[in-house]
């Protein structure tokens, strides 16, 4: 297989500028990430510790195998919203007893671990990942239930979470719930709908209605332990399968449960040599253009991501703005699609063909998105850009091999769809800090609106207030710019997280490994092709 | 002579073969079954199986060796040292078979091998010799001055030897020395000579040919000995005044001339602090410590041996012998000096010495050390312009050596080289008795810290290598990090060590050692007063796999190499023994998860390693005090004292002497005792 030769000049001024700009953007992301574990405030963290309880991420650290990685998903969900950054829940994938598992746990330091609308968005995406990749699910449960002040935004759709728990079980995907504290009302259904439950003695409590509600409803005086304590559920109701002495004991029991699951992944697993790329992945910090309008060669990313920098390029002389080819990441064979410019008809046709080929060979696809859109203009339209673009979107939509998307620059317009954007169900989608996403570039969007305003005024015979129009355009451009950033996107769970560019290879490696939990099989049928 | 059979094993075979090959000779080795893939067998062109596994079945079988020489077509036999090297009958049988014997004549071996006869020859040759009191069977010699030494007439190596302080002890000493000599050498004849305390052992290297020429190659000081076995040797002897040196050298030459000595030999003397000289014996062979003489003379002693054995005249005269600089040799043995030099056996897992040392070795990584043979692993020799330089160079070299798998005396020898009395050149044969502290030399605090870093890294490497899902990701990788990889370890003394390891994106690792910050009563975190080490993994051997044999680490910019002597992992326990030239450090990882079942039966000390209980000092109901020894567990060739952490009452003794224990097994249940002051 051909080995990619990097042309990146790491001593150049452009590289230094890109590196500095990327570092600045990453620093902002890193600061946001750092704020998450104590988002509820130090006072609440201290109070939690003082009660002898572990924070949710401390529980995860103690649960997973020593020295193993942990990939947290949507860690910055709710960024830029009124809800807490991270949405008050830690979701991620780790290794427990040698098995890849999904772990979710509420952050008790923020409003007692109660759910907010962002929690649901984050949970909904997490559930897609758990289901599609067949990940055994471990819930570290401790929740005050719904944030009652937000109940209207939560109650109705929130019920879906419990439905999905039992559906996972039906699919043969194990669900384990370890209860560390009060799990009231809806929270009680977390253990209730799980296959295995572990209750911490003297701490875990589960009831549909707490003592005040019981008093209100049936005028019964009862204490919490009698009503829903761990002992009661272990000895009387049978809701608890395992009674743990303390938090660590509960985590030990969860590890033991995972140990007996006899879990086998359904994918074929890695088959290629997983040697390191020839070029240092750290150089990815300076390989992408700081300004998404300046193009860069996606092969520089591939040279720092693929095993041994090996890449067998498909149709290099045709539709060269879409780089397609085969390689492997951490031993997993993949087909790659990466943008080296705008999508023309040739690029669309090439991409559609490539996706079909990869489906024939059950080869997962990795998309490196840096796309400003499909070509416009008379020549493009007459050349059939719509029907050809439709072919690409048809192929992406109906492809059944796992898709992985790395947002390494722009993602504007229908290019987002053609490159398997969030709405096209990629198994995993991660962004670099320089990522920008919108229906079109902010400048173009403002310009388009300006042209429309001018023609509308002209039709009505009205004078244009140039100053006001310029102000409106600038405001719009700035607003779209703000709503296009990687942080804005990740805050809305449009991706599964922003990663450090140098981590691209290992994050993809972990993601592909997880996707091999389910069968890796390509589609044989697609929608009708418009030729 | 075209084909040389070397009738020995270990380093001396490798050494002799090197010269023989250089001289264009074919080489033949012999081997007992356990040595079938030994380094010495690989160092010769062909090797003949002797069969058997003990020396008596193999390397001491002169008949088999002569047959092997005939069978292989060897026309000369070099006996090396030990085994049959000073066996006159063997030498005679070699000569009778028409094969050249590389050594003195059988008559010379026979004469000088009898210590009493040798003393008589020495007196006749005018060599300074103390009076000898012969011991006739059933009688006790009179008029003996004490202290005195009872010695076997045959043999050597310290066997059949007794120091006697007073007349009262004499009978028993003669009796037991005689019995020992009888069983060791088949000859119970003993004699008595004056014992010179704090004397130095100085010996002269002589070399003769069959043409009547005899020269000396200077002297060696071999005073640092344990149980009459040499540990450190050097040439020339330090602080030896020229008059005394002249007496020794002249005496050696005179004795050699007197007997018409041929080939290499060593005339040994004891020299008292007052200058009193006593001739001891002549070793009629190449000595273990010959390299120091080679280093200062620039000569190849084996080459000289082969040439004179072939009938050539010595290629140089006495006036051609020039001594340059100073050479010091350390014998690296698989023994534990801290525990009375008990032999240590096992597989060598790592074996590396720096290139600047001359290292004559018969083992390599993978060699198995058994109790059947000599414990010598290697001789490390340094040469310098001055004695100080040679000592410094040797100490430096030994510090960067790596020997894994067995206990060695490296740490102790480094301590000797750096000790004042040795450095000043005043070591006597009582040196190690006078300086017991060097035998206890072990890792100091910075060594232990580096050993700990190596243990944590090995633990990490092993765990990452066994991750079949995400093994390609660095240890403890996080996209949202709240803490590093934490582990708690127990060292040999039962002290807890807390580690927190954080992998940086550039591949370096931060290791923080010490208690991690914990929440205090008001919930706030305690200040972080931990030691922070910046680590970089430079390499492991092998490069991949679960258990490296050696690990090269950069610790705060300093490269260190450690051997991994033990790396054991079970579901809940992890024990690692790290070796360094300063000794071994043992680390037992505590499980993250408490065993509530064992907590129910009691708390107490756990076994640090898988091993065997060799002593139990307490019984149920005993009141023990803090630090009291409760039990001894032998593991990894070391005795581990199991101590009481606090004053307590023994509620259960869970194992008895001889029982096998696993790492982490609760050994003894203790109930903390409240003393009168109300304190636990």
The CATH number that applies at residue B340 is 3.30.470.20
Q: Which residue of A has its CA nearest to B520?
A: A50
Structural domain includes residue B111? no
CB contact under 8 A, B480 and A72: yes
Task: Write down the mean pLDDT value for chain A.
Answer: 93
**At residue B218, what are phi and psi to the nearest 5 degrees?**
80, -175
Q: Are residues B362 and B494 in the same domain?
A: no
Q: How far is CA B273 from CA B149, B239, B419, B423, B647, in A?
A: 17, 11, 20, 17, 51
- How is residue A209 written in tokens? 């209605």
Nearest chain A CA: its distance from B476 CA (Å): 5
Residue B532 per-residue DSSP state: E
User: Which chain A residues are closer than 8 Å to B480 by Cβ?
Assistant: 33, 36-37, 57, 72, 75
Region A384-397 average pLDDT: 96
Rounded Cα gap, residues A439 and A84, in angstroms: 27
How far does Cα A253 stand from its chain's mean position?
29
Longest CA pairwise span in chain B (Å): 94
User: Based on the domain organization, do B362 and B395 belong to the same domain?
Assistant: yes
* B495 reaches A (C-beta below 8 A): no
Integer Cα distance of A417 and A397 in angstroms: 9
Contact yes or no for A98 and B464 at CB 8 A: no
Write down which residue in B440, B474, B494 finishes a domain.
B440
Q: Is residue B569 part of a domain?
A: yes
Pairing of the two strands B3-6 and A436-438: unpaired
B476 and B424 in a common domain: no
- Tell whether the torsion through CA atoms of B170, B176, B182 and B184 is positive or negative: negative
Rounded to 5 degrees, φ, ψ at B183 are -75, -30
Work out whether strand B496-503 and strand B509-513 pair parallel, antiparallel, or are unpaired. Answer: antiparallel
Inter-chain residue contact A69 with B459, CB threshold 8 Å: no
Q: Say if the Cβ atoms of B521 and A50 lie within 8 Å.
A: yes
Give the CA dihedral B135, B139, B143, B147, nearest 10 degrees.
60
Residue B114 counted as domain residue: no
Cis omega before residue B236 (within 30°)?
yes
CATH number at residue B633: 2.40.50.100
In chain A, DSSP finds a helix count (H) and a strand count (E) of: 20, 15
Cβ of A46 and B460 within 8 Å? Answer: no
Residues B419 and B482 in one domain: no
pTM of the model: 0.74
Where chain B has pLDDT below 70, the residues are 155-158, 493, 519-525, 570-573, 595-602, 636-638, 673-680
Q: Do B410 and B483 lie in a common domain?
A: no
Same domain, B452 and B529: yes
Among B440, B464, B481, residue at a domain's last position = B440
Asked whether the predicted pLDDT for residue A409 surpasses 90, the reply is yes
Kindly provide the ipTM of the predicted complex, given to two decimals.
0.94
pLDDT for position B140 = 80
> Omega of the bond prior to B542 within 30 degrees of 0, cis?
yes
**pLDDT above 80 for A347:** yes
- Which of B562, B589, B616 finishes a domain? B589
Judge whether B50 and B6 are in contact, CB under 8 Å. Answer: no
Tens-digit pLDDT profile for residues A34-82: 999 988 888 888 888 888 899 999 999 999 999 999 999 999 999 999 9
Q: Which residues 645-664 of chain B have a CB within 8 Å of chain A?
A: none
| Mean pLDDT value of segment A25-29 | 97
Tell me, yes or no, whether B246 lies in a domain.
yes
Q: Do B592 and A248 touch (CB under 8 A)?
A: yes
Statement to judge: residues B373 and B334 lie in one domain = yes
Q: pLDDT tens digit string along A192-228?
A: 999 999 999 999 999 988 888 899 899 999 999 999 9
Same domain? B605 vs B581: no
Co-location of B574 and B630 in the same domain: no
Is B460 in the A-facing interface, judged by CB distances under 8 Å? Answer: yes
Looking up residue B512, the CATH number of its domain turns out to be 3.30.700
Kindly determine whether residue A66 and residue B594, on different chains, have CB atoms separated by under 8 Å: no
Q: Does some domain include residue B547?
A: yes
Clarify whether residues B270 and B207 are in a common domain: yes
Domain count, chain B: 4
Q: Is B343 part of any domain?
A: yes
Nearest-CB residue to A499 (from B468, B479, B485): B479
Secondary structure letter of residue A4 according to DSSP? P
Cα B85 from Cα B81, distance rounded (Å)? 5
Where residue B73 sits, what CATH number does that domain have?
3.40.50.20
Domain-located, residue B465: yes
The residue behind tokens 């490390």 is B380
Interior/surface letters A310-323, b for 16+ CB within 10 angstroms, e for the rest: bbebbbeeebbbbb
Residues B172, B285 within the same domain: yes
B544 contacts chain A (CB < 8 A): no
Instruction: For residue range A281-335, list pLDDT tens digits in order.
Output: 999 999 988 788 888 999 999 999 999 999 999 999 999 999 999 999 999 999 9
Summarize the confidence of residues A251-275 as an average pLDDT: 96
Which domain covers residue B258, as residue numbers? 127-440
CA distances from A516 to A127, A276, B609 (A): 17, 21, 39
How would you class A426 by CB atoms within 10 Å of its CB: exposed for 0-12, middle for 13-18, buried for 19 or more? buried
Q: Are residues B280 and B350 in the same domain?
A: yes
CA nearest to A353, candidates A329, A337, A369, A371:
A337
Classify residue B679: in a domain, yes or no. no
């Amino acid at each position: 297989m051909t080995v990619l030769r990097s042309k990146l000049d790491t001593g150049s001024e452009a590289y230094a500028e890109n590196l500095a700009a990327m570092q600045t953007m990453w620093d902002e992301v890193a600061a946001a990430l750092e704020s998450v574990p104590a988002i509820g405030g130090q006072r609440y963290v201290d109070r939690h510790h003082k009660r002898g309880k572990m924070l949710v991420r401390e529980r995860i650290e103690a649960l997973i195998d020593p020295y193993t990685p942990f990939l947290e998903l949507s860690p910055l969900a709710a960024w830029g919203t009124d809800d807490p950054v991270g949405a008050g829940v830690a979701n991620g994938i780790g290794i427990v007893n040698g098995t890849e598992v999904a772990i979710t746990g509420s952050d008790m330091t923020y409003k007692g671990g109660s759910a907010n609308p962002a929690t649901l968005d984050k949970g909904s995406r997490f559930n897609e990942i758990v289901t599609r990749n067949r990940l055994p699910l471990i819930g570290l449960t401790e929740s005050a239930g719904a944030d009652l002040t937000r109940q209207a935004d939560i109650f109705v759709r929130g019920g879906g979470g419990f439905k999905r728990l039992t559906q996972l079980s039906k699919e043969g995907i194990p669900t384990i719930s370890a209860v560390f504290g009060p799990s009231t009302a809806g929270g009680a259904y977390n253990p209730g709908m799980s296959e295995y439950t572990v209750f911490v003695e003297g701490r875990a409590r589960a009831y549909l209605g707490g003592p005040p509600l019981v008093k209100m409803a049936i005028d019964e005086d009862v204490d919490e332990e009698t009503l829903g304590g761990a002992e009661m559920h272990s000895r009387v109701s049978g809701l608890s399968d395992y009674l743990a002495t303390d938090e660590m004991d509960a985590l030990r029991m969860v590890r033991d449960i995972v140990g007996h699951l006899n879990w086998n992944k359904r994918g074929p697993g890695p088959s290629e040599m997983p040697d390191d790329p020839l070029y240092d992945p750290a150089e990815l910090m300076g390989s992408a253009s700081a300004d998404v309008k300046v193009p860069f060669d996606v092969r520089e990313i591939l040279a720092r991501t693929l095993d041994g920098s090996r890449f067998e390029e498909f149709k290099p002389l045709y539709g060269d703005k879409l780089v397609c080819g085969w390689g492997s990441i951490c031993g997993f064979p993949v087909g790659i699609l990466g943008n080296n410019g705008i999508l023309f008809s040739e690029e669309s046709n090439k991409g559609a063909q490539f996706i079909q080929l990869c489906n024939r060979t059950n080869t997962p696809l990795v998309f490196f998105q840096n796309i400003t859109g499909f070509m416009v203009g008379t020549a493009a339209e007459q050349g059939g850009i719509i029907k050809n673009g439709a072919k690409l979107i048809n192929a992406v939509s109906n492809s059944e091999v796992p898709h992985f998307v790395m947002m390494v620059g722009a993602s504007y317009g229908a290019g987002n769809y053609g490159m398997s954007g969030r709405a096209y169900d990629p198994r995993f989608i991660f962004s670099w800090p320089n990522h920008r996403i919108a229906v079109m570039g902010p400048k173009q969007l403002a310009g388009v609106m300006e042209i429309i305003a001018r023609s509308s005024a002209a039709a009505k015979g009205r004078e244009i207030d140039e100053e006001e129009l310029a102000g409106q355009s600038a405001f719009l451009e700035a607003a779209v710019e703000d709503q296009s950033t990687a942080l804005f996107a990740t805050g809305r769970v449009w991706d599964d997280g922003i990663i450090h560019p140098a981590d691209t290879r290992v994050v993809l490696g972990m993601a592909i490994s997880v996707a091999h939990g389910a069968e890796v099989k390509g589609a044989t049928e697609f929608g009708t092709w418009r030729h | 002579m075209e084909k040389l059979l070397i009738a020995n094993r270990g380093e001396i075979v490798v050494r002799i073969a090197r010269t023989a090959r250089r001289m264009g000779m074919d080489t033949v080795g012999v081997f007992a079954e356990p040595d079938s893939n030994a380094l010495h067998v690989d160092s010769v062109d062909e090797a003949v199986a002797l069969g058997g596994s003990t020396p008596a079945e193999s390397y001491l079988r002169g008949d088999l060796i002569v047959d092997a020489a005939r069978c292989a077509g060897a026309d000369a036999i070099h006996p090396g040292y030990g085994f049959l090297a000073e066996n006159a009958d063997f030498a005679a049988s070699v000569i009778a078979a028409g094969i050249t014997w590389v050594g003195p004549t059988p008559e010379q071996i026979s004469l000088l091998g009898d210590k009493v006869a040798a003393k008589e020859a020495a007196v006749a040759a005018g060599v300074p010799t103390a009076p000898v009191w012969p011991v006739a069977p059933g009688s006790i010699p009179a008029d003996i001055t004490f202290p005195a030494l009872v010695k076997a007439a045959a043999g050597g190596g310290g066997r059949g030897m007794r120091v006697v302080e007073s007349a009262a002890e004499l009978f028993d000493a003669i009796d037991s020395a005689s019995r020992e000599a009888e069983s060791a050498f088949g000859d119970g004849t003993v004699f008595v000579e004056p014992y010179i305390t704090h004397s130095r052992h100085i010996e002269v290297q002589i070399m003769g040919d069959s043409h009547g020429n005899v020269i000396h190659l200077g002297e060696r000081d071999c005073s640092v000995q344990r149980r009459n076995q040499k540990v450190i040797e050097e040439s020339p002897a330090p602080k030896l005044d020229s008059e005394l040196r002249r007496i020794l050298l002249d005496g050696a030459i005179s004795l050699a001339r007197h007997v018409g000595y041929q080939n290499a030999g060593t005339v040994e003397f004891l020299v008292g602090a007052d200058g009193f000289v006593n001739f001891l014996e002549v070793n009629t062979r190449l000595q273990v410590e010959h390299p120091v003489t080679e280093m200062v003379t620039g000569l190849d002693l084996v080459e000289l041996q082969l040439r004179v054995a072939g009938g050539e005249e010595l290629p140089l005269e006495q006036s051609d012998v020039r001594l340059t600089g100073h050479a010091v040799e350390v014998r690296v043995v698989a023994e534990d000096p801290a525990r009375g030099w008990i032999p240590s056996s096992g597989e060598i897992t790592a074996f590396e010495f720096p290139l600047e040392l001359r290292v004559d070795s018969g083992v390599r990584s993978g060699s198995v050390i058994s109790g059947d043979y000599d414990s010598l692993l290697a001789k490390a020799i340094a040469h310098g312009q001055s004695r100080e330089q040679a000592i410094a160079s040797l100490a430096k070299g030994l510090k960067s050596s790596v020997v894994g798998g067995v206990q060695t005396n490296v740490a102790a020898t480094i301590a000797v080289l750096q000790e004042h009395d040795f450095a000043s050149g005043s070591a006597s044969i009582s040196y190690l008795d006078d300086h017991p502290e060097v035998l206890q030399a072990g890792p100091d605090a910075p060594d232990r810290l580096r050993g700990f870093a190596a243990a944590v890294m090995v633990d990490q490497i092993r765990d990452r290598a066994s991750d079949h899902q995400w093994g390609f990701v660095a240890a403890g990788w996080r996209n949202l990090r709240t803490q590093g990889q934490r582990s708690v370890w127990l060292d040999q003394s039962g002290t807890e060590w807390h580690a927190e390891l954080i992998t940086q994106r550039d591949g370096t690792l931060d290791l923080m050692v010490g208690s991690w910050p914990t929440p205090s009563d008001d919930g706030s975190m305690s200040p972080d007063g931990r030691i922070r080490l910046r680590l970089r993994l430079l390499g492991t051997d092998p490069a991949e796999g679960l258990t490296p044999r050696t690990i090269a680490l950069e610790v705060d910019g300093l490269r260190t190499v450690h051997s991994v002597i033990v790396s054991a992992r079970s579901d809940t326990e992890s024990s690692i023994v790290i070796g360094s030239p300063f000794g071994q450090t043992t680390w037992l990882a505590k499980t993250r998860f408490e065993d509530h079942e064992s907590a129910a039966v009691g708390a107490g000390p756990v076994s640090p390693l898988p091993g065997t209980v060799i002593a139990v000092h307490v019984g149920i109901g005993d009141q023990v005090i803090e630090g009291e020894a409760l039990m001894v567990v032998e593991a990894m060739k070391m005795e581990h004292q199991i101590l009481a952490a606090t004053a307590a009452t023994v509620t259960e003794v869970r194992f008895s002497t001889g029982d096998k224990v696993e790492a982490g097994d609760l050994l003894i249940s203790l109930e903390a005792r409240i003393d009168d002051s109300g304190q636990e």
